[in-house]
Amino acid sequence: MGLTAMGPGIFIIAIMGCGEGDAPCQPVRMLEARYESQAACTAATEAALIQNTDIDYPVVAAECVAAGSKPIPPGANEVQRPGPGRADLEVSPIRS
């Protein structure tokens, strides 16, 4: 039985690096902290972004994913990309 959007499970935060334009986002780091719920994971994403600003991408996004699954890169429409030379941090929707 798969996990539902609000169901029980273990979640981790994936840090995604996104390029400009239509370039897809790439998972660049999986954090070790584990969360018992999506709500707890989501609550930790802002702090995770602040602690992971060393990634060399114009946009850095945090995404909660079910432990053991691969992060699904946000589509070009889901993460707003900044103009050249401007870094931006984004919290993307939760995926399981």
d(CA 71, CA 68): 10
Residue type, 6: M
Within 10 angstroms of residue 4's Cβ, the number of other Cβ atoms is 10
* pTM value > 0.75: no
Residuewise pLDDT in 10s, the chain (96 residues) = 333 344 568 999 999 999 887 778 899 999 999 999 999 999 999 999 999 989 999 889 999 999 888 776 554 334 444 444 444 555 554 444
Task: Pull the structure tokens for residue 10.
Answer: 């273990």
d(CA 31, CA 35): 11
* Domain residue ranges of the chain, discontinuous segments joined by +: 11-91
Q: Specify whether the CB–CB gap between 55 and 31 falls below 8 A.
A: no
